[in-house]
Structure 1
Amino acid sequence: SIAHKVHLDATVSFMESEGTLTLPVGEHSTLYLSGRGSYLNLLYGNLLEIDEMKLRYGLQDYNLTFVQQAGAHDKIRLSLYHGQDRMNLLQEDFADENKLNWQNTAAALHWQHHSSRFILQQNATFSRYRNTLDMGISSVSLNLSSGITQAGYAARLEWTRGNLQWNGGVEYNYYHFRPMQFEVSGSFIENETPKFLEDAHEANAYLQADISIRPSWSVLGGLRLSSYHSHGRSFISPDPRITLNYHPSSSHTLSVHYGLYHQYLHQMSVSNGGLPVDYWTSSSPSVCPQQAHSIALGYYFRSQKGMMEISAEVYYKKLSHQHEYSGSILDFFTQVYHIENNMIHGKGYNYGLNLMLKKNRGKLSGWVSYAIGSSRRRFPELSPTEWFNSTFDRLHDLSVVANYRFNRHWSLGGDFVYASGTPYTKAKSVYVINNNIVSEYGKYNGANLPSTHRMDIALTYRFSPRGHREQSLNLSIYNLYARRNVLFSYLGFQEENFGYKHVYSLCRMLPSIGYTLKF
């Protein structure tokens, strides 16, 4: 939106600081500057020393948005973003050091033209994502790196004719991949992947119509035609979608949806111990696009004054051409290793139930969401008949967020989250043969990390406003009951034995005081 006054919204606390500065630039333009950074280890470094391991984590991100009202019917928006996360885990006794680094840069230029007959939107986008892991175990070091760069253009047109609401558009994206590459060096091994890059082109065109059949019935139907070209091969996929909505009253909606979807980019997880190291790769002559037939039945309720919202959805997805990485980080230490040889292909299905209850007004506000679901896969390379849990399977996922306002000065808020543990393939034994590390695994995705849960609370005092200035103090406690949640597991030394070690998240109670200023 276009602002006409300078505005600052900033918060400073023991763990991180963030702020947004709004600057009017002339009568029809506004510049928004925002940033966030954490300095958790300055005050809580000793609390993050777990099992003789020093955990260091930090993040920072920056945003710049420029909005221009170019006439009565046109608006232009330019957005820039850069963010970086770093994590360092050091165990000095065994010279064991592990570093994770994520970087993301994005830019977008958006133009919207609004007239009495139609709305036209155009977007030009660019993004670059990088992910690196450095591991050191005694005299051996491992480096994993991957990345993906995207540049694209999209145009969307919306218009209404009679009882039909239409929208259609075209999209084009160029992708530049750097799939997972590794380098291993040590006293008994030198190994690395050959350096290679991938390029791909994706183009889409779609048309969709929202038809009011009767006052209580409507149909939303459309067709998307996609084309993808990579490695000298082209894929063309028509994806039909249809949704039938029934409105017995203004507060209730029932819907039935069917859609066919194709996915040309594939996210692969390298670590079978829950380590957050993923990479992106492209469809190719040997890797077919993923396909999903999706069916969903939904219900939505919103009270007349918008105080309460209830939603429920049950879904089923039949999946074809599914791909996962079946190896382990230990496999990188063999001299005959090739990453493409550890991709497995098969089919699968997902099903589940999503529930949400939301209260928007009153002294007590907040929401509760719960999801129960299953994600199963079958890969002939592992077993022609046996089904396995997907790497991204999560049986239970619960979130509770609440805020109670006692009066105009005091309020108490909190949240509770619970999630089932991530599946992974656990190594049963590890040994060295002819200077090569060889690992023997159990059932594929047959083990799970422990379930995670955590509660946070915050007490806020708002000072009486003075002019256009608002101030508040916030006392918060992260992880109220000091739950030790497992972030991921990896293979390493523990009590002179080589085996799985848990790395815990910020597993102790962390109090913080924050000050917020708005003017």
Structure 2
Amino acid sequence: MLDSVVVSARRHTAALKQTMPGSYNWNMQQLDFLPKIMGNADPVHYAQMLPGIQTNSEYRSGINIDGCDNSHNAVTLSGVPVYNVGHLLGFFSIFNGPHFKSMNIRRAATNGAYPNRIGGTLDMVPFQNKADSVEGEFSVGLISSQGTMRLPLGKRTSATVSLRGSYINMLYGKWLKTDNTQVSYTFGDANVSVVHELGEHDGLLADFYCGIDNAKFDESHYQANVKATWGNTMGAIHWLHNDSEWNTHNTLYVSAYRNRFSLQMEEAQGRMPSKITDLGFSSASRWHQLSFGGNAVAHIIKPQTIQADNYYSDITSIPHTQKAIEASVYADWRQPLTASLAVNGGARLTLWHIDNNNFKSVDPSITLQYDNNQGLKMSAGWFMRHQYMFQTGFSDAGLPTEFWMSTDAKNSPQYCSGVSAGASIDLGRRMWRVSADVFYRRMYNQIEYSGSLLDCLNSSYDLNNYLLHGNGKNIGFNLMIQKCAGDITGWISYTYTRARRTFNEDGNNTTYPANHERPHELNTVVAWSPGSHWTIGATLVYASGTPFTAPVSASILNGNVIANYGKHNANRLGGYGRLDLSVNYKWKSRHIKEQGLNLSIYNATAHRNDLFYRIRTKKDGSFALRPITFMVDVLPSVSYYCKF
């Protein structure tokens, strides 16, 4: 007989966990341990700090995984796709961190359940358990304020409501200016999730999201005014069943994205709206070692429409609305080989129908996984995936000037074949983790937009005349050292990536770096809790500059600068570097769980990063090519937060 037993363990305070090499699970409730930039610890911002996921500069939104384009990824909210997930020109995402339980990231297809995307996946998972009491949190900062509240609505029902709004122009209006371009910007979004328990093993989850961005740009150089309004709306109902033998998740949803972009110049004005709406049903089930499911989606896509007047002639280019049907089924079988080794094999069958054209694909995948349950994990796999939607446009620099379009008779489905291998090991009583992986992908039927903004105002404008078709190749290596427990947590990661594209232009095949390629990236994230009241965080980024196409000559036509460009992506911006610092001071009171103040400094070293180049007209009539940097060198912010 024992008088007493004491069990002790080391608390893992790291927000980030690796389920397998290349797959990450992030606990959103532990984002408070990470630096808050301008009062926000944004999920997508920190996803860009992971190995294999590219660091973005200030005027670029989205994520690039393993050298793939942003449009190659599936970004979802509880499995429901959402489009263009950036706020504030890519500075924040549309995901309000406190509203969600976790963020799951997978960099490559490891099973048949993986969607029809040739890149990675990022899924935000809301709370699926019922709240027993009223709880919530809110924060008030200099740029935006946000609040989240969880409310019980009876014995079996509860709701989580989150709101966020910005007032940037009120306090930062006079600083929102870059190279004589005055910027006016606001954004806001709302999330509602309702959980209802049907029984011991069954539940219903209803999700709703709505967000909007409004931006205005006064371009003095081009004598132009640009206005853009864009946003997402999503609604879904989920039925979940979980027991010891059978799990299923069925979803009925609608997801819509709309973009209204307009341009007014001295002798021309134009509008370029686009939108996409998905109505779908998906089902995923697991029974012992077998997983299977499918989805059926109706896509209603309106590619970029050009409407212009007061130019040489009036232009009305109205492509027909694309209506496509996507149907997929999949099956996966996990077969244990030993106590530590297992193989997972699967296949995904897809039918895509549009305008009396049918496209079919069979995408297999196989993954070998090793886990000795003592800290060592290894995996290796091969996969193939088809993707039936494209995103393109004349610029991806923060504004939603890119639009979606479907596979059709003129644009074959893009597809990818890839291999990856990786390993991770826990050291020092699981206090440290070291992981590394390699990847290689070949991509086919890629497209790229070769036109410019002024081409859209051409009376003979035809979208297909500005699309280049070609192939791509991505190769890379990643290494990460992570501190998982203790007063100091975080990681340092290095990524090497080469992303090359080969397109046929004027009858010649030309190979050049992808627009987002950064060969070398170094990311460091550190969170330190020296006591019960203080949390100090820092992030350090250094990355190679992205490619750009330099002009070789320029002229003025009707008051507008017309440039002739040299070899595509033959030049590269200078290296990108940034240090962000954050300090939290928190305290508790009788009726409040926690409250505190956050002070953050964005780009604390005032490093001037070249974001892109533009042509500037001098007073003597000559031209100069000059780099454009962020609006301000250093961006400090203070915010107050409260949890109850």
TM-score (norm 2): 0.74
| Counterpart contact for 2:163–2:189, Cα < 8 Å | yes
Aligned to 2:228: 100
| Counterpart contact for 1:478–1:509, Cα < 8 Å | yes
Aligned to 1:46: 174
* CA distance in 1 between partners of 2:284 and 2:400 (Å): 35
Alignment deviations for residues 204-259 of structure 1 (CA, whole Å, 9 cap, x no partner): 11000111101232101111111111122111111110011233562111211100
* CA distance in 2 between partners of 1:41 and 1:230 (Å): 44
Asked whether 1:443 is paired with 2:567, we answer yes
| Counterpart contact for 2:178–2:630, Cα < 8 Å | no
* CA distance in 1 between partners of 2:612 and 2:166 (Å): 21
Aligned-pair distance for 1:359?
2.0
Residues 1:227 and 1:344: Cα distance change in structure 2 (over 3 Å): same
* CA distance in 2 between partners of 1:68 and 1:403 (Å): 36
Aligned to 2:120: none
Aligned to 1:483: 607
Asked whether 1:228 is paired with 2:352, we answer yes
* CA distance in 2 between partners of 1:401 and 1:241 (Å): 33
| Counterpart contact for 1:318–1:349, Cα < 8 Å | yes
In the alignment, residue 639 of structure 2 is paired with which amino acid? G
Aligned to 1:408: 532
| Counterpart contact for 1:479–1:507, Cα < 8 Å | no
| Counterpart contact for 1:409–1:464, Cα < 8 Å | no
**Residue 270 of structure 2: which of 142, 145, 156 is its match?**
142
Residues 1:32 and 1:158: Cα distance change in structure 2 (over 3 Å): same
In the alignment, residue 237 of structure 1 is paired with which amino acid? S
Asked whether 1:157 is paired with 2:282, we answer no
**Residue 501 of structure 2: which of 363, 371, 377 is its match?**
377
* CA distance in 1 between partners of 2:484 and 2:265 (Å): 51
* CA distance in 2 between partners of 1:325 and 1:57 (Å): 27
* CA distance in 2 between partners of 1:55 and 1:187 (Å): 26
Aligned to 1:201: 325
In the alignment, residue 594 of structure 2 is paired with which amino acid? E
In the alignment, residue 285 of structure 1 is paired with which amino acid? A
Alignment of 1:339-350 (within 5 A): 339-350=463-474
Alignment partner of 1:46: what SS? helix
* CA distance in 2 between partners of 1:334 and 1:213 (Å): 63
Alignment deviations for residues 15-74 of structure 1 (CA, whole Å, 9 cap, x no partner): 211110111100111111101122122112222233333222322111000011111110
In the alignment, residue 7 of structure 1 is paired with which amino acid? E
Aligned to 2:641: 516
In the alignment, residue 54 of structure 1 is paired with which amino acid? Q
Q: Name the structure with the higher strand share.
A: 1
**Residue 238 of structure 2: which of 103, 110, 113 is its match?**
110
Deviates more, 1:303-312 or 1:497-506: 497-506
**Residue 597 of structure 2: which of 473, 478, 483 is its match?**
473
Deviates more, 1:57-66 or 1:187-196: 187-196
Asked whether 1:287 is paired with 2:411, we answer yes
Bigger relative contact order, structure 1 or 2, given CA contacts below 8 A and separation 6+? Answer: 2
Aligned-pair distance for 1:273?
7.3
Residues 1:437 and 1:135: Cα distance change in structure 2 (over 3 Å): same
* CA distance in 2 between partners of 1:331 and 1:275 (Å): 18
* CA distance in 1 between partners of 2:523 and 2:632 (Å): 19
| Counterpart contact for 2:592–2:642, Cα < 8 Å | no
* CA distance in 2 between partners of 1:421 and 1:96 (Å): 29
Residues 1:514 and 1:151: Cα distance change in structure 2 (over 3 Å): same
* CA distance in 2 between partners of 1:474 and 1:329 (Å): 41
Aligned to 2:434: 310
Aligned-pair distance for 1:103?
0.8
Aligned to 2:582: 458
Alignment partner of 1:386: what SS? strand
Deviates more, 1:451-460 or 1:316-325: 451-460
Residues 1:435 and 1:48: Cα distance change in structure 2 (over 3 Å): closer
Residues 1:387 and 1:147: Cα distance change in structure 2 (over 3 Å): same
Alignment of 1:352-371 (within 5 A): 352-371=476-495
Same amino acid, percent of matched pairs: 32
- Where does structure 1 lack aligned partners over 5 or more consecutive residues? none
Deviates more, 1:46-55 or 1:106-115: 46-55
Aligned-pair distance for 1:441?
2.6
| Counterpart contact for 1:483–1:507, Cα < 8 Å | no
Aligned to 1:120: 248
* CA distance in 1 between partners of 2:220 and 2:446 (Å): 41
Deviates more, 1:235-244 or 1:34-43: 34-43
**Residue 327 of structure 1: which of 451, 459, 464 is its match?**
451
Deviates more, 1:22-31 or 1:432-441: 432-441
Aligned-pair distance for 1:434?
11
Alignment partner of 1:42: what SS? helix
In the alignment, residue 411 of structure 1 is paired with which amino acid? T
**Residue 6 of structure 1: which of 128, 134, 145 is its match?**
134
* CA distance in 1 between partners of 2:625 and 2:344 (Å): 51
Alignment deviations for residues 128-158 of structure 1 (CA, whole Å, 9 cap, x no partner): 1123332333333333222211111111110
Aligned to 1:212: 336
In the alignment, residue 630 of structure 2 is paired with which amino acid? S
| Counterpart contact for 2:538–2:581, Cα < 8 Å | yes
**Residue 212 of structure 2: which of 76, 79, 84 is its match?**
84
TM-score (norm 1): 0.91
In the alignment, residue 564 of structure 2 is paired with which amino acid? E
Residues 1:84 and 1:219: Cα distance change in structure 2 (over 3 Å): same
* CA distance in 2 between partners of 1:262 and 1:370 (Å): 29
Alignment deviations for residues 308-331 of structure 1 (CA, whole Å, 9 cap, x no partner): 333222100111111111222232
| Counterpart contact for 1:348–1:378, Cα < 8 Å | yes
Residues 1:354 and 1:136: Cα distance change in structure 2 (over 3 Å): farther
Aligned-pair distance for 1:492?
7.0
- Where does structure 2 lack aligned partners over 5 or more consecutive residues? 1-128
* CA distance in 2 between partners of 1:257 and 1:499 (Å): 50
Alignment deviations for residues 413-459 of structure 1 (CA, whole Å, 9 cap, x no partner): 12223444443444433557999997533112323444433222111
